[in-house]
Structure 1
Amino acid sequence: MRLALAQLEIESAAVEDNRERAEAAVAEAADRGADLVALPEIFNVGYFAFDAYQRAAEPVEGPTLSRIADAAREHGIGVLAGSIVEDLAETESVETPADEGLANTSVLFDRDGRRLAVYRKHHLFGYESAEARMLVPGESLGVAEFEGATVGMTTCYDLRFPELYRDIAAEGADLILVPSAWPYPRVEHWQLLPRARAVENQLFVAAINGSGEFDDAELLGRSTVYDPWGTTLAGTGDDPDLVVTDVDLDRVAAVREEFPAWRDRRL
């Protein structure tokens, strides 16, 4: 599988401009031969634009995800649209964990723009953030089949909770995608946590961050793909970029056979 991570420039509350950048990144990833491209957390509004959450919230069938689905179909590429602020009360076609409220929601589309999975962020960030106060946490695991791969989905702060990744790995995931809005100064944590999740579960982890400045935060970029040994396959700096790399999914079984930590677990 050829995987692309779209480290987008994200402007606070500039929804239309941010959507257009996402559509352009999907097109560029397809031009570069990617099978699947992943977008950052709350790429249309900007994670730290809390004042805009309520007015910019959309259902899963809303304009942002509809346009990403159209882009996936037009360019023949899978897309993890990770994520938007979802208006749960307005969503109609997907089972929701609450009758109302807002959620931090990612959707995986196939090459025909069909929804394969919906994931709502489990762990909501409360440290110097309004997310935990404003949003409803998700309850269901994000796991789907995409062209022979079992793809797991988590979001940003979820990285600090390894039990979620173990549950996803137990569902057979080969690759876990982690759309994020990770800010300075926690660079070391951003480099450590996805690598640790890859090593302890012996699978691929791809951490997709944004790029941009908000009133009181700056995203640090550094989107990276880690293999089941925790080795960096591809990554970038803090500026907008498109990371493209080939992921050999057979490596998951090979690494687990060579170093059988997964088999040696005591449950």
Structure 2
Amino acid sequence: MKLALAQLRIESGDVDGNVERARAAVAEAAADGADLVALPEIFNVGYFAFEGYARRAESVAGPTVSALAESAREHGVGVLAGSIVEDLEASRADGVDTPAAEGLANASVFLDRSGERRAVYRKHHLFGYGSAEQDLLTPGEAVPTVEFGDHTVGVTTCYDLRFPSLYRELVDAGATMVLVPSAWPYPRVEHWRLFPQTRAVENLLYVGAVNGVGTFEDAELLGRSAIYDPWGTTLSSAGDEAALVTADVDADRVAEVRSEFPALQDRRR
């Protein structure tokens, strides 16, 4: 299976433009033979455009995800609709299974090749450290996986990378690949390199960490999206410009590595 990470240039508050750039990236990746395309965190509004969250929030059945579902159908590819600011009440009104909480969530939506919504992952660990995320959003609870091609795919989001127990939960659910939509800014370049690679090594699975690029009032996204194999080897990566990052990700390779180096069997619970 060929995975593509769409490292998009994200313009603060330019929802229409950001969505069109996302759709163009899906089309380009599909033309290049991708089976699955992943987008960055809050790619439509822009992660650091906090003042626009409430105004721009929408259902996971709303216009942004619907546009990406159309792209998935048109090109016959799976799409991880990075994440959006979800209005939980609007999602419920659209018949989407949502947590009982009200307010807003940071939601990633997995769409299959026919554009059907297969899973919604709502970010568990909300960033503090001067960010408004903890004040504006409600954390998720569910940890879904999706069968796609020969992989069992899990999703986490950005700051989740710092909490390894979440990835163990995905391993226990059978995950062979984890996609990580992110909005990782300068100056924490070394952290961005370290955490996705470490999660791949310690869980013996593929990790696709997809970041955006672009400048906001007080932050700049650092790009450097990358795909790591179950040994932690970098299969493909980008710099700090808009790019597609692609690699073949073979689920049989996960089984081989876990057989050759069965560290997961030595876990003490």
TM-score (norm 1): 0.99
Matched residue, 2:227: 225
Which residue of structure 2 lines up, in the alignment, with residue 45 of structure 1? 45
Q: Kindly provide the amino acid, as one letter, of the partner of residue 124 in structure 1.
A: L
Report the 3-state secondary structure (helix = DSSP H, G, I; strand = E; otherwise coil) of the residue aligned with 1:262: helix
2:201 aligns with 199
Alignment match, 1:264: 266
Identity of aligned residues (%): 68
Instruction: Determine if contact 1:225/1:232 at 8 Å carries over to the other structure.
Output: yes
CA RMSD of aligned residues (A): 0.7
Tell me, in whole angstroms, the C-alpha distance in 2 between the residues paired with 1:36 and 1:152: 13
- Alpha-carbon deviations, 1:102-140, whole Å to 9, x = none? 000000001100011110000000112100110000000
Within a 5 Å distance, the mapping from 1:11-90 to structure 2 comes to 11-90=11-90
Give the C-alpha shift of residue 99 in structure 1. Answer: 4.2
Residue 246, structure 1, aligned to residue 266, structure 2 = no
C-alpha separation between the residues in 1 aligned to 2:186 and 2:118? 33
1:185 is matched with which residue?
187
Partner of 2:177: 175
Q: Pick which of 91-100 and 192-201 moved more.
A: 91-100
* 1:156 and 1:181 in contact (8 A); partners too: yes
- The amino acid of 1:152's aligned partner reads G
How far apart, CA to CA, are the structure 1 residues paired with 2:193 and 2:102? Answer: 35
- Taking the TM superposition and a 5 Å limit, the aligned residue runs for 1:102-251 are 102-251=104-253
Name the residue aligned to 2:5. Answer: 5
Q: Distance in 1 between matches of 2:36 and 2:58?
A: 24
Helix, strand or coil for the counterpart of 2:255? helix
Supply the distance in 1 between the matched residues of 2:135 and 2:98 (Cα, whole angstroms): 19
> What stretches of structure 2 of length at least 5 have no aligned partner?
none
Displacement of 1:249: 1.4
What amino acid does structure 2 have at the position aligned with 1:58? E
Aligned pair count reads: 267
1-structure distance, mates of 2:224, 2:259: 31
Segments of 4+ in structure 1 off by > 4 A?
none
Q: CA deviation at 1:171?
A: 0.5
TM-score, length of structure 2 as denominator length: 0.98
Summarize deviations over 1:57-92 as a string: whole Å, max 9, x none: 000111000000001001110000010000001113
| Matched position secondary structure for 1:177 | strand
Q: CA deviation at 1:94?
A: 2.0
Decide whether the 8 Å contact of 2:150 with 2:251 is kept in 1. Answer: no
Q: Which amino acid aligns with 2:146?
A: A
User: How far apart, in 2, do the equivalents of 1:98 and 1:237 lie?
Assistant: 40
